């Protein structure tokens, strides 16, 4: 069920970029992040809890994102993650790297960059 | 739906994460699983399917644990103090504790300031008292081997320590085998002329052997030679360092120069070291054989001489005392008339110097210890309150793996930091306080000049501050470290361990109890001093100036000129405007000196020494009773007609009249007085409390005899004319006539100084100096104790009100009136204070007995004083509870309940 369309290593390499991108505009909690990845990739990409959370913790430990328990009225408290300034820099540089990588692959494979 | 949290915890178990981190991860992932489960269910999956899928996604074939292992480190050590054991070793962790403690104290400046101030008061007071004890009792006297130095007094039925006859001293010195050396000393005043203004100097007649006995070498020049300490030798003098420096400008060529003392030309042989002090601090020292008096050759004359001996190695004080006693027994057989019943008493020089003040100082040491305990209890309470507030902090640390011992150590470090900080401030307070107290009560302490902050005092302060830091920090530290992390983290603002409230109550009650003891002591002392001040001394001390006078050297060498010189001097002083009457006396009541003379009733021959009683013997001029306002009971006082040409007369006091002439009229009777012979009693005057306002009633010698100066035989005139005191009753403030008196006494020759100018009221209050000093110190301590106790009660009650805001809110909501609420708080405060007062009173009953010797006219267990103290503390408690009670009535039930 997992890794149906995209190779596991590819996903791993790009996962950080995905997470950082999703946190760029607003803070989100883990479940929301997983959901968004699934929706926006139209089901092509899926992160289950077992890989999503360790990755979040790793990014947090590196200081790229910061998690915080937030209590909203009528709800259980949830841990929301937001991008740190350092994370914002990393996102920009990873985006640039990804673009270069995709361009290169495109030139070689003849697949146009969308 | 399964218990996701438990499942996740199971998966994480192998990772050995810190408990708090594990809980956090479990919570977050459990939420995720739950959301996923709900989503699957709403998509149509069965419960079993949804559970299975969510579970699979969660663990991802052990993926979660694997991934987490690489991210999360087990029990990661935290940056400071949280760790169970740091790698840096003990020193590094102590340093860490100190840094962290410093930071937490700085974060709470209010708490830190209050705690430090309380400790500064406690430690400062202790340092002050210790610096006094250190300077007075502990620091050895400035002689080599001072423990081997003994003061030797004569003893008889009237005095256990009386001064020594010079001839007896010479026999002791010659006959004894116990002492390597023996010396003698006698204080006297000297008239210093020939260098500008005539001046009076305090001096000592000393034997040539005195300095070598003490083991003191002159700073400059040499000691007296034996041949200088001989009758008829030329006068030699040694100077004190201070006199040489200040009065003689530290003249480096002073040796061999001549100074005129009592009209004798005295060659300077040496200057004594700066720190030399023996009994009184004198300015000049003259060989004793030059004391040109008949008394020196009279075995019955005791003239204030004291002997000093240095024990031979291996000889005990008891053995030496026994030997001198046996010499005394031989002398008593040899000279029964003068020596019968005379023994000797040896006292270590340290005990002689400071022994009398020791009980008082020990009392103050005890009192000041109480102040420190109160301060400690106060700070312990503050720390307890803070420990409760910091419960979460300790719980988190414990949860993160901090060992309990480590938390205790951290808390103790903080309390020691507090106490050391307090000690630093206290040291300043002590320095400032002792100099203030010594200035406020001059003359109340021996060796006062040696009181100061020295390394021993610093060491003491450091030890006390470390000990107190541990003492008051222990209870809060253990209660703090006992915190159960899970409970504490869950717990809201309300409710806290019962241990803390019990401890708090105990501390406050103890504070109140100790304050009661100190207040009782201070109250008793105040009553004693107050009663003493109202004791009738037998004369009227108001508006009387006293001053010692010295006659011109030209007069002094001519005995027949001495009496007229006094008469003229008195006439000049009496003519000063504002002077009511003026007189001269050889003795001032309540002063430092006394003269006793044995007497016998009837005009018969002189009986043996031990068959006579002694009376206080004053030589006075006719106006003495009017200047002092001593009432005349019978007969008359002296008149100018009582002179050398008329038969000798005396006036006695009513104590002697009752004692010797019980029931008869003594006027007209004969009385024999040693050395002077028979005299006729012409009058009886009221008794004067010569020995002190309190001590006089118990004094052995209370009989008083007055003798007219105009009948002093010429052979005694010279020494009799030294150290006489002028007594002047004035209409205005007595100190306002000092310069006029000085000018009139100086006379036409301008060489008659007055000195030791004091009012009688000053002398009277000076006679209470020691007691007044004790009272003053106790009052200060009691006030500090009261303040600290009030702060303690206030702190505990306001904390209790805050803590119980919820309960109070419920009560108000249920209809309790504000008055009932306030009453409840007040009752609780009074309850605590009541326990303290009861305990304190019980202890005070026992402890105030230690004060007994300092009390006058009031029993140690004086019910009025104790009741007043209890009332005062009750009032203070009410006051301290007032603000918390007010706050309690202001609790808004809505707010209090919503805050839950």
A55 part of contact set with chain B, CB < 8 Å: yes
- ∠ at Cα B593 (B592, B597), nearest 5°? 155
Residue B35: its chain A contacts at CB < 8 A? 31
Q: Which tokens belong to A28?
A: 């989100």
A32 part of contact set with chain B, CB < 8 Å: no
pLDDT at B222 over 60: yes
- Measured between CA atoms, how close is B394 to chain A, in angstroms? 21
User: Cβ of B16: how many Cβ atoms within 10 Å?
Assistant: 12
Give the confidence band of A112 by pLDDT, cuts at 50, 70, 90.
low
C-beta of residue B553 within 8 angstroms of C-beta of residue B193: yes
Residue A76: its chain B contacts at CB < 8 A? 31
Q: What's the pLDDT score for residue B539?
A: 93
Summarised one tens digit per residue, pLDDT across range B161-174 is 888 889 999 999 99
- DSSP states along B52-89: HHHHHHHHTTTHHHHHHHHHPPTTPPPSSS-SSS-TTH
C-beta of residue B757 within 8 angstroms of C-beta of residue B738: yes
Suggest the residue from A2, A8, A35, A49 to mutate for an interface test with chain B (most B CBs closer than 10 A): A49
Q: What chain B residue is nearest to A51 in terms of C-alpha separation?
A: B64
Q: Which tokens belong to B376?
A: 């400690």
How far is residue B800 from each of residues B118, B807, B810, measured CA to CA in Å?
Answer: 21, 11, 15
Q: What chain A residue is nearest to B25 in terms of C-alpha separation?
A: A53
Interhelix angle A30-40/B19-42, rounded to 10 degrees, is 40
Summarised one tens digit per residue, pLDDT across range B265-319 is 999 999 999 888 887 678 999 999 988 767 788 887 777 888 999 999 999 999 9
- Three-state secondary structure call for residue A44: coil
Q: Which tokens belong to B795?
A: 């702190």
Q: What's the pLDDT score for residue B86?
A: 46
Which residue, among B94, B70, B66, B67, has the nearest Cα to B80 in the 3D structure? B94
A87 part of contact set with chain B, CB < 8 Å: no
- Measured between CA atoms, how close is B894 to chain A, in angstroms? 21
Q: What's the pLDDT score for residue B275?
A: 83
Q: What's the pLDDT score for residue B473?
A: 83
Summarised one tens digit per residue, pLDDT across range B778-791 is 888 888 888 888 88
Lowest mean pLDDT among B74-88, B137-151, B727-741: B74-88
**Whole-number average pLDDT of chain B:** 85
Q: What chain A residue is nearest to B64 in terms of C-alpha separation?
A: A50
B733 part of contact set with chain A, CB < 8 Å: no
Q: What chain B residue is nearest to A70 in terms of C-alpha separation?
A: B28
3-class DSSP string for B127-159 = HHHHHHHHHHHHCCCCCCCHHHEEEEEEECCCC
pLDDT at B548 over 80: yes
pTM value is 0.66
Q: What's the pLDDT score for residue B270?
A: 94
Q: Round to whole Å and give the CA distance between B218 and B205.
A: 16
Give the confidence band of B847 by pLDDT, cuts at 50, 70, 90.
confident
pLDDT at B414 over 70: yes
- Measured between CA atoms, how close is A55 to chain B, in angstroms? 8
Q: What's the pLDDT score for residue B560?
A: 84
Residue B29: its chain A contacts at CB < 8 A? 49, 53
C-beta of residue B679 within 8 angstroms of C-beta of residue B648: yes
B28·A34 Cβ contact <8 A: no
- DSSP states along B247-290: TSTT-TT-TT-EEEETTEEEEEEEE--TT---SS--SEEEEGGG
Which residue, among B219, B226, B354, B243, has the nearest Cα to B287 in the 3D structure? B226
Q: What is the mean pLDDT of residues B224-238?
A: 90
Nearest to B32 among A30, A54, A57 (CB): A30
How far is residue B557 from each of residues A89, B292, B554, B561, B721, measured CA to CA in Å?
Answer: 110, 11, 6, 9, 11
Residue A49: its chain B contacts at CB < 8 A? 29, 32-33, 36, 57-58, 60, 64
Q: Round to whole Å and give the CA distance between B711 and B446.
A: 39
Dihedral, CA of residue B774, residue B776, residue B777 and residue B783, to nearest 10: 140
B28·A79 Cβ contact <8 A: yes
Q: What chain B residue is nearest to A81 in terms of C-alpha separation?
A: B28
Q: What is the mean pLDDT of residues B615-644?
A: 93
Region class of B547: left (phi > 0), else alpha (psi between -120 and 50), else beta: beta
A76·B31 Cβ contact <8 A: yes
Contact partners, residue B815, CB within 8 Å, separation at least 6 = none
pLDDT at B140 over 90: no
Q: Which tokens belong to B677?
A: 């012979």
Suggest the residue from B5, B8, B12, B28 to mutate for an interface test with chain A (most A CBs closer than 10 A): B28
Strand pairing of B649-653 and B677-685? parallel
Local structure of residue B162 (DSSP, 8 states): B
pLDDT at B224 over 90: yes
Structural element, H or E, at residue B866: helix B863-889
Give the confidence band of B353 by pLDDT, cuts at 50, 70, 90.
confident
* Higher per-residue confidence, B879 vs B159: B879
Q: What's the pLDDT score for residue B706?
A: 95
B25 part of contact set with chain A, CB < 8 Å: yes
Give the confidence band of B441 by pLDDT, cuts at 50, 70, 90.
low
**Whole-number average pLDDT of chain A:** 82
pLDDT at A50 over 90: no
A62 part of contact set with chain B, CB < 8 Å: no
Q: In chain A, what are the domains?
A: 8-106 (1.10.10.10)
Sign of CA dihedral B689, B695, B696, B702: negative
Q: What's the pLDDT score for residue A65?
A: 92
Nearest to B58 among A49, A55, A79 (CB): A49
Cβ–Cβ pairs < 8 A, chains A and B:
54
Q: First vs last Cα of chain B: how many Å apart?
A: 31
pLDDT at B735 over 70: yes
Summarised one tens digit per residue, pLDDT across range B80-124 is 444 444 455 677 778 888 888 888 888 878 788 888 888 898 889
Q: What's the pLDDT score for residue B575?
A: 93
Q: What's the pLDDT score for residue B433?
A: 84
Q: What's the pLDDT score for residue B77?
A: 43
Interhelix angle B818-847/B805-813, rounded to 10 degrees, is 130
Q: How many Å separate Cα B641 from the centre of its chain? A: 52
Q: Round to whole Å and give the CA distance between B566 and B724.
A: 10
Q: What's the pLDDT score for residue B486?
A: 63
Q: Round to whole Å and give the CA distance between B519 and B780.
A: 10
Q: What's the pLDDT score for residue B628?
A: 95
Q: Round to whole Å and give the CA distance between B889 and B474.
A: 35
- Taking a contact as any Cβ pair under 8 Å apart, which residues of chain B between 47 and 106 contact chain A? 57-61, 63-64, 67-68, 70-72
- Measured between CA atoms, how close is A11 to chain B, in angstroms? 15
């Amino acid at each position: 069920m997992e890794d149906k369309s995209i190779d596991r290593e590819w996903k791993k390499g790009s996962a950080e970029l995905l997470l950082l991108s999703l946190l760029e505009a607003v803070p989100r909690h883990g479940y929301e992040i997983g959901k968004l990845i699934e929706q926006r990739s139209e089901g092509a990409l899926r992160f289950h809890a077992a890989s999503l959370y360790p990755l979040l913790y790793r990014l947090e430990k590196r200081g790229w994102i910061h998690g915080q328990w937030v209590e909203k009225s009528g709800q259980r408290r949830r841990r929301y993650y937001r991008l740190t300034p350092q994370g914002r820099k990393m996102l920009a540089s990873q985006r640039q790297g990804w673009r270069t990588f995709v361009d290169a692959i495109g030139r070689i494979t003849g697949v146009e960059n969308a | 739906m399964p218990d996701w949290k438990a499942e996740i915890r199971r998966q994480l178990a192998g990772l050995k994460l810190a408990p708090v981190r594990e809980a956090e991860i479990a919570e977050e992932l459990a939420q995720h699983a739950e959301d996923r489960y709900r989503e699957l269910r709403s998509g149509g999956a069965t419960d079993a399917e949804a559970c299975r899928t969510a579970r699979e996604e969660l663990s991802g074939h052990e993926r979660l644990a694997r991934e987490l292992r690489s991210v999360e480190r087990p029990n990661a050590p935290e940056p400071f103090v949280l760790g169970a054991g740091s790698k840096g070793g003990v020193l590094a962790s102590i340093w860490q504790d100190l840094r962290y403690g410093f930071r937490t104290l700085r974060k709470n400046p209010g708490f830190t300031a209050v705690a430090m101030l309380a400790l500064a008061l406690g430690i400062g007071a202790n340092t002050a008292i210790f610096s006094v004890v250190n300077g007075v009792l502990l620091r050895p006297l400035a002689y080599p081997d001072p423990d081997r130095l003994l003061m030797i007094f004569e003893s008889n039925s009237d005095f256990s320590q009386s001064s020594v006859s010079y001839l007896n001293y010479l026999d002791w010195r010659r006959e004894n085998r116990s002492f390597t050396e023996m010396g003698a000393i006698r204080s006297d005043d000297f008239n210093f002329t020939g260098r500008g203004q005539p001046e009076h100097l305090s001096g000592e007649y000393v034997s040539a052997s005195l300095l070598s006995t003490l083991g003191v070498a002159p700073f400059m020049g040499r000691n007296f030679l034996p041949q200088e300490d001989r009758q008829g030798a030329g006068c030699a003098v040694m100077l004190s360092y201070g006199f040489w420096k200040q009065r003689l400008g530290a003249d480096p060529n002073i040796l061999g120069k001549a100074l005129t003392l009592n009209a004798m030309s005295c060659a300077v042989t040496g200057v004594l070291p700066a720190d030399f002090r023996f009994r009184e601090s004198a300015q000049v020292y003259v060989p004793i054989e030059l004391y040109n008096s008949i008394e020196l050759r009279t075995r019955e004359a005791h003239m204030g001489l004291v002997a000093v001996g240095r024990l031979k190695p291996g000889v005990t004080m008891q053995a030496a005392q026994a030997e001198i006693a046996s010499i005394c027994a031989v002398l008593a057989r040899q000279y029964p008339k003068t020596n019968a019943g005379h023994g000797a008493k040896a006292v270590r020089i340290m005990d002689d110097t400071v022994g009398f003040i020791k009980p008082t100082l020990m009392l103050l040491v005890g009192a000041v210890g109480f102040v420190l305990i109160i301060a400690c209890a106060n700070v312990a309470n503050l720390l307890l309150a803070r420990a409760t507030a910091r419960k979460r902090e300790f719980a988190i640390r414990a949860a993160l793996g901090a060992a309990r011992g480590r938390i205790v150590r951290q808390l103790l470090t903080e309390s020691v930091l507090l106490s050391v900080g307090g000690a630093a401030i206290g040291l300043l307070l002590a320095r400032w306080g002792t100099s203030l107290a010594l200035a406020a009560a001059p003359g109340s302490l021996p060796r006062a000049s040696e009181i100061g902050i020295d390394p021993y005092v610093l060491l003491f302060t450091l030890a006390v501050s470390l000990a107190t830091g541990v003492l008051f920090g222990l209870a809060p530290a253990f209660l703090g470290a006992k915190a159960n992390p899970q409970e504490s983290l869950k717990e809201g603002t309300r409710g806290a361990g019962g241990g803390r409230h019990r401890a708090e109550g105990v501390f406050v009650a103890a504070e109140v109890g100790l304050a009661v003891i100190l207040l009782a002591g201070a109250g008793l002392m105040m009553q004693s001093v107050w009663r003493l001040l109202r004791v009738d001394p037998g004369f009227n001390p108001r508006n009387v100036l006293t001053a010692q006078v010295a006659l011109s050297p030209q007069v002094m060498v001519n005995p027949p000129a001495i009496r007229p010189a006094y008469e003229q001097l008195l006439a000049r002083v009496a003519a000063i405007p504002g002077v009511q009457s003026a007189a001269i006396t050889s003795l001032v009541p309540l002063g430092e000196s006394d003269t006793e003379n044995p007497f016998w009733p009837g005009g018969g021959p002189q009986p043996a020494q031990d068959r006579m009683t002694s009376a206080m013997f004053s030589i006075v001029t006719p106006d003495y009773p009017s200047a002092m306002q001593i009432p005349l009971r019978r007969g008359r006082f002296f008149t100018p007609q009582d002179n050398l040409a008329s038969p000798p007369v005396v006036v006695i006091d009513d104590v002697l009249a009752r004692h010797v002439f019980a029931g008869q009229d003594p006027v007209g009777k004969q009385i024999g007085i040693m050395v002077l012979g028979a005299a006729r009693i012409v009058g009886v005057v009221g008794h004067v409390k010569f020995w002190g306002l309190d001590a006089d009633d118990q004094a052995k010698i209370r009989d008083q005899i007055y003798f007219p100066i105009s009948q002093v035989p010429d052979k005694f005139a010279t020494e009799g004319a030294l150290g006489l005191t002028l007594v002047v009753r004035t209409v205005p403030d007595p100190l306002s006539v000092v310069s006029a008196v000085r000018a009139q006494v100086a006379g036409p020759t301008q060489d008659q100084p007055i000195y030791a100018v004091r009012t009688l009221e000053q002398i009277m209050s000076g006679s209470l100096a020691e007691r007044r000093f004790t009272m003053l110190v106790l009052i200060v301590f009691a006030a500090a104790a009261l303040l600290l106790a009030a702060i303690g009660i206030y702190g505990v009650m306001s904390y209790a009100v805050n803590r119980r805001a919820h309960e109070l809110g419920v009560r108000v909501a249920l209809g309790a009136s504000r008055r009932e609420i306030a009453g409840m708080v007040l009752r609780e405060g009074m309850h605590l204070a009541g326990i303290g007062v009861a305990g304190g009173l019980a202890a005070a009953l026992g402890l105030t007995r230690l004060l007994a010797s300092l009390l006058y006219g009031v029993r140690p267990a004086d019910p009025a004083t104790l009741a007043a103290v209890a009332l005062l503390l009750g009032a203070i408690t009410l006051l301290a509870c007032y603000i918390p009670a007010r706050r309690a009535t202001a609790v808004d039930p809505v707010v209090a309940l919503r805050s839950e």
